[in-house]
Amino acid sequence: MALGWHNIIARTALRVNALTGAQSAALNTTFNTRPLTQTQFKSAVFPFLAHVHAVVGVAGMLAEAIASTAEHPGRARLHAVTAELTGNQVDGVVLPTVSADNDPIIGLFGAVRETIETVPKRPLTREPLQRVLTLIVNSNSFYKQTYYKYAMRGERIWFTRPTAVIDCCVWNETTRLSEATSNTGAPPFADSLADALMYGALKMLMRDDEFLQQSQAFGAYFDSVIALLRGGQVAVPAFVEPAQPARAEG
Amino acid sequence: MATTTTAEVIMRALAMAQGVGMDGHDSPLLDAEQTAETLLEHAFRHVAGEYAKDPRKHSSVMQSYTITFTNGAGTLPGQTLSEHVTHASFYNSDESAVVLLSYCPFWFDFVRRKSTRQLLGHYAVDVGSGQVAIILPGADYDASGGFAGDLVMRTIGIPVLPPGPATTFTADDCYLDDVVIALAAALRSEAPWAALQRDTEAEGA
């Protein structure tokens, strides 16, 4: 995403009246200040870090939706690989929960690639477990060809090469919170999801009866975006204000 | 003679089998290398068996197997078609000189052979135990002091397939083509590889 974390946070802060600047010009200056800090926030309900946590939390939901959708192109922005796994084991290998960089793995696993060949990281193809086990056991060394196969069942993987890595998606909430606080990096999504990220954060930014209607309206939109992403959609529709918008609030 | 690898034979057969009719993405033969290798030796053996029915094709499937004899007995190579060992011939280890051996179908007859015919020896095959036994010309059967050394047996069989996918072996071109066809047909479950069967029957007729 070309937009940095604080571009999203500035937009959410504006909609819950959290930024300093009573007059338009002053508010505009605050809105454009980078990086944002607590200094630019006046809201007693939603201070700066509340926005950071809301945006990062919602970004995690978007990431989970994309990572849980096989073949979704957005997975590339969340991509990581696992540490090298050891194959040719009858009892398989327990699937890792963190990437090679120790980031928590989310969603579905991607391609499984072997790592021992001179042509590195050739992809393995998925096969029924029974066929893969037949190759691993290879009674009487019957099979002499080189096979690039794997099977997954539950929390385990079996594969027919000595070593392999698995493509995966990762989401490290701690790292993202740090990035979002200091405005380093950017949300790992396409720009077309910037509004979804903002409206999703606004869903979170309600307390008691503060911004309740606004939260419901934006929340409904965000939920529809999540459903679309899980259905494999790449582009999502723009937010349309409901017939009874939340203008009266705030 | 063609020089090839088992990986190449499997690749050709899969391409042939997958290329029939349907969208390649929907082919049930995608990732079927394991099935192909399982059927590979069957295909070699089946085609050799079909060729053996036609004397004109014997030269395409005649193979040389080096057998090490001890006390006149050695192991019959698993690649031979045992029903055709009656027409085997034997040579010294570099195939420069023939060793005249006549097939003796009955073991009890074989062990009683005497050197009455100085220029003709005998051989017998015990398929059950996988043994081939010989009595050299001019010699008597001697279970404890028979021939020791290597001889080459030429008989109808399949090539000795190498232990790895990248190691080459040689086979007659036409025979190899028919092995690919038979393997492709087998992959499509066309039992018993009817296309090849029809071809052989038509030529025989």
DSSP secondary structure string, A133-166?
A: HHHHH-GGG---S---EEEEETTEEEESSSEEEE
Residues A82-134: tens digit of each pLDDT: 999 999 999 999 999 999 999 999 999 999 999 987 666 899 999 999 999 99
Is B147 within 8 Å of B72 (Cβ atoms)?
yes
Tokens of A21: 């600047």
Is B68 within 8 Å of B150 (Cβ atoms)?
yes
Residues A193-204: tens digit of each pLDDT: 999 999 999 999
Q: A169 vs A175, A191, A200, A228, CA distance in Å?
A: 15, 19, 21, 19
Task: Judge whether residue B117 has pLDDT over 90.
Answer: no
Helices (H) and strands (E) in chain A, counts: 7, 9
Residue identified by tokens 């393997």 is B183
Q: How close, in Å, is residue B24 to chain A by CA atoms?
A: 16
Task: Judge whether residue B178 has pLDDT over 90.
Answer: yes
Tokens of A94: 């327990």
Subunit contact B37:A134, Cβ cutoff 8 A:
no
The answer to whether A135 faces chain B, any CB pair under 8 Å, is yes
**Which of B42-46, B125-129, B184-188 is the least confident region?**
B125-129
Q: Which amino acid is at A106?
A: I
Which pLDDT value is given to residue A240? 80
Q: How close, in Å, is residue A120 to chain B by CA atoms?
A: 18
**SS3 state at B159:** coil
Split at pLDDT 50, 70, 90, the class of B94 is confident
Contact list, B37 vs chain A (CB under 8 Å): 143-145
| CB contact set of A151 (below 8 Å; sequence gap of 6+) | A126, A127, A128, A129, A131, A132, A133, A157, A158, A159
ipTM over 0.90: no
Strand blocks (E) in chain A: 79-81, 85-86, 93-94, 105-106, 112-114, 123-126, 149-153, 156-159, 163-170
Task: Judge whether residue A250 has pLDDT over 50.
Answer: no
Whole-model pTM: value is 0.84
Which pLDDT value is given to residue A98? 98
Subunit contact A144:B10, Cβ cutoff 8 A:
no
The answer to whether B34 faces chain A, any CB pair under 8 Å, is yes
Segment A136-149 shows an average pLDDT of 94
Q: A84 vs A93, A97, A119, A165, A169, CA distance in Å?
A: 11, 13, 16, 5, 16
Subunit contact A145:B33, Cβ cutoff 8 A:
yes
Contact list, B10 vs chain A (CB under 8 Å): 145
Task: Judge whether residue B129 has pLDDT over 70.
Answer: yes
Segment B119-137 shows an average pLDDT of 89
The residue among A248 and A93 whose pLDDT is bigger is A93
Q: How close, in Å, is residue A111 to chain B by CA atoms?
A: 15
Segment B163-182 shows an average pLDDT of 94
In chain B, the residue whose alpha carbon lies closest to the alpha carbon of A143 is B37
Split at pLDDT 50, 70, 90, the class of B194 is low
Split at pLDDT 50, 70, 90, the class of A239 is confident
Segment B164-178 shows an average pLDDT of 94
Residues A204-237: tens digit of each pLDDT: 999 988 999 999 999 999 999 999 999 998 888 8
Which pLDDT value is given to residue B32? 92
**SS3 state at B167:** coil
Tokens of A89: 């084991």
Task: Judge whether residue B97 has pLDDT over 60.
Answer: yes
Q: How far apart are CA A113 and CA A78, in angstroms?
A: 18
Contact list, A129 vs chain B (CB under 8 Å): none
Task: Judge whether residue B200 has pLDDT over 50.
Answer: yes
The answer to whether A127 faces chain B, any CB pair under 8 Å, is yes
The answer to whether B163 faces chain A, any CB pair under 8 Å, is yes
Which pLDDT value is given to residue B205? 44
Subunit contact B6:A125, Cβ cutoff 8 A:
no
Q: How far apart are CA A230 and CA A42, in angstroms?
A: 37
Q: How far apart are CA B192 and CA B45, in angstroms?
A: 13
**Which of A9-18, A121-130, A176-185, B193-202 is the least confident region?**
B193-202
Subunit contact B163:A145, Cβ cutoff 8 A:
no
Question: Average model confidence (pLDDT) for chain B?
Answer: 88
**SS3 state at A205:** coil
Q: A122, A140, A145: which to substitute to probe chain B, counting the most B Cβ within 10 Å?
A: A145
Burial class (CB in 10 A: 0-12, 13-18, 19+), A238: exposed
Which pLDDT value is given to residue B27? 81
Closest CA to A136 of A167, A174, A164: A164
Segment A128-148 shows an average pLDDT of 94
Q: How far apart are CA B198 and CA A45, in angstroms?
A: 86
Residues A10-24: tens digit of each pLDDT: 999 999 999 999 999
CB pairs under 8 A between A and B: 29
Residue identified by tokens 């690639």 is A113
Q: B6 vs A127, B18, B161, B179, B196, CA distance in Å?
A: 22, 18, 7, 11, 20
Question: Which helix (H) or strand (E) is A198 found in, with range?
Answer: helix A194-204
